[in-house]
Amino acid sequence: MKAILDEGFQISPEALNSLSVIDNPEELIARIINRIKGMGEKPLVITKELIEQEVPHRERRKPVEEIRPLPVSITGRKKFKPIAEEIDSEIEVLRDPTGKLHGRGRVEDFIDYFRDRYNRLYRLFLQRGDLNVVPIADLPNYKNRETVRIIAMVTSKRQTRTGKLMLEVEDPQSSIRAIVPMLNERLAEKADRIMLDQVLCIEGFMNGSLLVATDIMWLNTPTHHTPKKADVPVCAVLISDTHVGNQTFLEDAFNRFISWIRGKIGSEKQREIAGQTKYLLIAGDIVDGIGIYPGQEKELAIKDIYEQYSASAGFLEQIPEYVEIIIIPGNHDATRQALPQPAIPEKYAKPLHQISNVKMLGNPSQVKLHGVNFLLSHGRSLDDVAATIPRINMNKSAEVMKELLIGRHLAPQFGNVVQIAPEEQDWLVIEEIPDVFHAGHVHISGQRRYRNITLVNSGTWQSQTDYQRRRGIIPTPGKAHIVNLQTHQSLIMNFFEGCE
């Protein structure tokens, strides 16, 4: 923003608003200023139109189309001939923690765990090739305001009395205090986004024993990721947080959803999409569970965990067999709570395991479907992200997910709401860039594209609970997000609104 004022221009409120949803506003502002300078008659105010002319079409955030399925009368309806039935499924499980976890928990195990996190992210940073980083232990050799870069994990973060940010950061050998002066809006905004236990690249200079940061860089995803596309016209349907067993589970809406997948309701176009549905991905909280929060029992319609899973299987077994269903657990499911979570075991969810087209994976998991790379994570850490970063809120759930991609870690902060088990390897580092990142947990549906990656938070099938009412959370239930694997076009189908 400063650049605009420095150049003597003003900016309209609408323009400011549209800038706030753009990934790299600094670069865009520079481009706009350059263009204005080349104009014969220079505008005084930067308007929304000026910005839109400069944003390449694919970067513009257009809302995902949302449609409601209409019941179709039996007469005059064409026979449902699903193309997905003719196409063989192609599932490659790239990463699934199930069966590979050790459940350690000694102090030394935590040290090993964080070292592994650091090393994995450090290696990925080095692959960028242009950073010239030094170990923290070498920092005393850099004097006279020489610029230097380190890669470090944030171990503490606090505001100083003068409004600067004081960090304590470390690498495997050493640690140092780093101060982030709020020199400009860009650095202040970045300082706000730093999360504890994140691995970052800090650029700065030494002042006595203190590193003064001049820039903060997250590993981020490449600017030019090219998503893989399926060579056949199939779709994946993304849902989560069905919470079967709770009184607020929206059975009617979920039944409508199943009727749609079976080709029984919808317009011709909607039934065509149903027929292309080859995959159903469920990102956790399949059931409401038992003993998850105080007073839960009063809100349960089914008070037995086995019966909750068998009720959930009762719905899912109605989905045609040619649709592959992939289920990962959430924090309400009957598997270990600490991340990474192994798949919900047969012991609790036998009826689900018995459905031939159901695949139970852990949280997180990464799979390729017809070559398209999906990262599935329940998303409990989104609570931490939203609580840490001031300008971010849960009503834009895909924005919150974006922060995890930028930090390339699914649960940066340790020991707040998210429990992490100290496995030898950090399963939560986002090593391979997904084409689609799917999470749930926040019960607010959201979708956007970030650097060519489709981010989907698939909402919930539960209406507002007492807990949410007390906290002012308004869920968006009954929506299914559909991604066409051949075109990466997506849409949302709303099975709740207007149907009740």
The correct pick among 272, 285, 333, 435 for binding Fe ion (CB under 5 A) is 285
331 interface partner picked from Fe ion, Zn ion, none, CB below 5 to 8 A per type: Zn ion
Q: For Zn ion, how many residues bind (rule: CB under 5 A)?
A: 4
Q: Whose Cβ is closer to Fe ion: residue 241's or residue 423's?
A: 241
**In the complex, what is the shortest distance from the CB of residue 400 to Fe ion, in angstroms, rounded to a whole number?**
15
**In the complex, what is the shortest distance from the CB of residue 31 to Zn ion, in angstroms, rounded to a whole number?**
41
333 interface partner picked from Zn ion, Fe ion, none, CB below 5 to 8 A per type: none
By CB under 5 A, tell whether 363 contacts Zn ion: no
362 interface partner picked from Zn ion, Fe ion, none, CB below 5 to 8 A per type: none
399 interface partner picked from Fe ion, Zn ion, none, CB below 5 to 8 A per type: none
- Name residue, tokens 């994976």: 361
Closest residue to bound Fe ion by CB? 285
**In the complex, what is the shortest distance from the CB of residue 331 to Fe ion, in angstroms, rounded to a whole number?**
7
Q: Which stretch binds Fe ion (CB under 5 A): 59-67, 205-213, 236-244, 473-481?
A: 236-244
The correct pick among 96, 171, 241, 426 for binding Fe ion (CB under 5 A) is 241
By CB under 5 A, tell whether 197 contacts Fe ion: no
By CB under 5 A, tell whether 288 contacts Fe ion: no
By CB under 5 A, tell whether 435 contacts Fe ion: no
Q: For Fe ion, how many residues bind (rule: CB under 5 A)?
A: 2
Give residues 322-361 in contact with Zn ion (rule: CB under 5 A): 330-331
Q: Whose Cβ is closer to Fe ion: residue 370's or residue 481's?
A: 481
The correct pick among 441, 443, 448, 481 for binding Zn ion (CB under 5 A) is 441
Q: Whose Cβ is closer to Zn ion: residue 25's or residue 284's?
A: 284
Q: Whose Cβ is closer to Zn ion: residue 277's or residue 465's?
A: 465
By CB under 5 A, tell whether 245 contacts Zn ion: no
**Residues 271-310 as x/- pattern, contact with Zn ion by CB under 5 A:** --------------x-------------------------
**In the complex, what is the shortest distance from the CB of residue 161 to Fe ion, in angstroms, rounded to a whole number?**
40
By CB under 5 A, tell whether 120 contacts Zn ion: no
Chain residues in the site for Fe ion (CB under 5 A): 241, 285
Chain residues in the site for Zn ion (CB under 5 A): 285, 330-331, 441
